[in-house]
Structure 1
Amino acid sequence: MRLYEPRGWALGLETAAAWLLGLLWILPLVYAVWTAFHPPEFSAKFVLGAPLTLENFRRAWEAAPFARYFLNSFMLVTMVLAAQFLLCTLAAYSFARYEFRGKEIVFLLVLVQLMIMPDVLIVENYRTMARLGVLDSIPAVGLPYFASAFGIFLLRQAFKTVPRELDEAARVEGAGPLTVLWRVYVPLAKPIYLAYGLVSVSHHWNNFLWPLIVTNSVTSRPVTVGLQVFSSGDQGIDWSVITAATLLTSAPLLLGFLLFQRQFVQSFMRAGIR
């Protein structure tokens, strides 16, 4: 339930602002689609009846090993999401239902991590990956993100809303702590998992700086880093090919959102902190 319902001019102002923000978001996408599906001579001008072509996508696909890049990105986001679900679930359950010495201090440290930009830790993360001997590998890209402070906080808030009576009923039936977590808490938090999964996959699919620093070969670089091949040539920038490659990179996320947008929106609405 909204605490404030706009009326009259306020409602019109909100609607106008929403349309303005929508246009600001959609115009770059419209330009990218136009440029990618038309010959290079039409990349800087809109001409009705301009010929359509898929040549830009063919050139982009042949210019870089996209099949390998897509595989790397898929393995990366799957690995990170699985580790985050496991570790964040266990940590959130502990913070929500157990009492132990130093609990508040440890949770405060988790909240502090939310205030630190990941880029600040790049040097130390790189040194850690070097000491572990995993540089230039997919695990090196994902390891620093296995534990997510945001995921722990979000799931903790969700677990705290579960009535303790459900715990007691499950324990009466002989269920252990992990069984209670898996059978009671996780199913009730499915909308939270879906909302967080969307955020995590989007972030790690689009992440650029850390994968660029920690990898230097095709066998480990994700698709976003592979895009830099189109801006490193000596013959100028071909925007038609670049936009085609960008659409190829963004296509999985855009397609996933279009197919499951209702579930995504409902998940975010139900994931509100109560």
Structure 2
Amino acid sequence: MRFKKLKLGRLLLLALAALWLIPLLWVAVTAFRPKQVALSSSFSLDFTLDNFAAVWAAAPFAQYYVNTILIVVGVLAAQILTATMAAFAFARVEFRAKNVLFLLFLVQIMIPPDVLIFPNYSILKELSLLDTKLGIMMPYFASAFGIFLLRQMFKTIPRELDEAACVEGYSKWQILWNIYFPLARPSYIAFGLVSVCYQWNNFLWPLIVTNSVENRPLTVGLAIFAQSFEIGAQWTEVSAATLLVIVPLTVAFILFQRQFMNSFIHSGIK
């Protein structure tokens, strides 16, 4: 009976996975098919790379890639720095109202980012940072989720290591970067994956604050490309452009899925 339940559960998971793959497979097949047969119900072996060439020539996707990579890397670097210091303070430094302040940080996890769009936009306007890469990145320099994740990891590290390091003359900064940072590597990998995926797919905030090609990320560039007058409803070009956007993360997951899963398991993410 138990074996039958496991088998049924596996079949259900496979069915859900197949259902999830249908749009992705449709996009992939459409992107490589010629225009005249792209939406045809008949099957054919006609495939072409002309759609990708047309997309690359019609929009500055190379610039979009550069912008996205700079934004993703910049946000991740700032988040690691701020989350590490805040998590260490909450885990190991004693100060007044520490628990209350930590609860306030946790409240930010429950606040949808879209609620803060108007105040963030007003602040960037006052700072003259609209339509800049820094303006896109600034609201994400601190991460409540990252602080929570790293704090939980830091609390599992024995205090005896701190005491031994203090005997050796280490400062708190040296203890943080020479002991806690290396031991929390799985948590950093897990958080890095979440941050990179979120920033790569972020759309609404960059759409609001950017107006120029020099600062648009891939998601905004794809939306503008898909709605442009020249392209209209040409599904082959739109599918090819979509594939250009999602391929980096998809390939990374396929190549490093074991490391991805292990990092989440060791970090305690469920």
Cα displacement (A) at 1:233: 1.5
Contact 2:190 2:263 in 1 (8 A): yes
Provide the C-alpha distance between the structure 1 equivalents of 2:126 and 2:160, rounded to a whole number of angstroms. 47
Count of matched residue positions in the alignment of Structure 1 and Structure 2: 269
Q: What are the residue-to-residue correspondences of 1:178-189 with 2, within 5 Å?
A: 178-189=173-184
Q: Which of 58, 66, 69 is the equivalent residue of 1:71? A: 66
Counterpart residue identity of residue 190, structure 1: R
Q: Which of 66, 78, 87 is the aligned partner of 2:82?
A: 87
- Which residue identity is paired with 1:159? F
Determine the C-alpha separation between the residues in 1 that align with 2:241 and 2:160: 53
- Supply the distance in 2 between the matched residues of 1:158 and 1:138 (Cα, whole angstroms): 32
Match of 2:161 in 1: 166
After the TM superposition, list the runs of 4 or more consecutive aligned residues in structure 1 that deviate by more than 6 angstroms. none
User: How far does residue 41 in structure 1 lie from its aligned partner after superposition?
Assistant: 2.7
SS in 1 for 2:2: coil
Equivalent of residue 254 in structure 1, options 238, 250, 257: 250
Whole-Å separation in 2 of the counterparts to 1:127 and 1:224: 23
Tell me by how many angstroms 1:33 deviates. Answer: 0.7
Within 5 A, what are the aligned runs for 1:164-243? 164-227=159-222, 228-233=224-229, 236-243=232-239
- In the TM superposition, residue 151 of structure 1 has moved relative to its aligned partner by 0.3
Residue correspondence of structure 1 range 1-150 to structure 2 within 5 A? 7-45=2-40, 47-150=42-145
Provide the rounded CA distance (Å) in 2 between the counterparts of 1:252 and 1:31: 18
Question: Quick one: structure 1 residues 234 and 37, their matched pair in 2 at CA, closer, same or farther if it must change by over 3 Å?
Answer: closer
Moved more, 124-133 or 39-48: 39-48
Matches within 5 A, 1:260-271: 260-271=256-267
Cα contact 1:157–1:273 (8 A) shared by 2: no
Flag structure 2 segments of 5+ consecutive residues without an equivalent: none
**TM-score if structure 1 supplies the norm length?**
0.94
* Greater displacement, 137-146 / 264-273: 264-273
The answer (yes or no) to whether the contact 2:225–2:231 under 8 Å persists in 1 is no
CA RMSD of aligned residues (A): 1.6
**Change beyond 3 A, Cα 1:245–1:234:** closer
Q: Distance in 1 between matches of 2:5 and 2:40?
A: 38
AA at the equivalent of 1:122: I
After superposition, what is the alpha-carbon deviation per residue over 1:21-72, rounded to whole angstroms, capped at 9, x for unaligned? 2112211111011000111233224544331100110111111101111000
Classify the secondary structure of the residue corresponding to 2:104.
Answer: helix
CA contact (8 A) 1:42 1:50 kept: no
The superposition leaves residues 107-137 of structure 1 with CA deviations (integer Å, 9 ceiling, x where unpaired) of: 1111100000000110011001111111000
The answer to whether the 8 Å contact 1:136/1:217 transfers is yes
1:155 aligns with 2:117: no
Alignment check: 8 A CA contact 1:191 1:268 kept: yes
SS state of the match for residue 8, structure 1? helix
Alpha-carbon distance, 1:234 to partner: 6.2
Structure 1 unmatched ranges of 5 or more: 1-5
